[in-house]
Amino acid sequence: MHATLSSKGQVTLPARIRAALGLTAGDKLDFQLMGDGSIRVVPVTRDPLAISRVLPKPDRTPATAAEFDAAVAAGACARFVRGRS
């Protein structure tokens, strides 16, 4: 894949790259000059969940609401018990 630099110094990222990185209009990118003269382009994440768009998804079934509630309750109980000792 390639892109062309405009007279204003702008580059349009190919749609496949934008889709693979989950980029949308307004997203920020960091350009890093590598020692061999190449350029590395890295999305700048604004929130911790943004990176999840580019990570592979594990093959697992999402927790049900009841399972989630039980896990939260167990964690709260464990913190409470630790705090009392």
pLDDT digits (tens, 9 = 90+) for 24-70: 888 888 888 989 999 888 888 666 665 666 666 677 777 788 888 88
* Domain that includes residue 54, residue range: 15-84
CA-wise closest residue to 50 among 68, 67, 26, 33: 26
- The pLDDT score that the predictor gives to residue 6 is 93
Number of domain units in the chain:
1
Reported as type and span, the H/E element at residue 40 is strand 39-44
Domain membership of residue 75 (yes or no) is yes
Length of the chain: 85
Domain membership of residue 33 (yes or no) is yes
pTM over 0.75: no
CA distances from 76 to 24, 43, 47, 51, 82 (A): 38, 35, 25, 27, 10
Structure tokens at 85: 């000792």
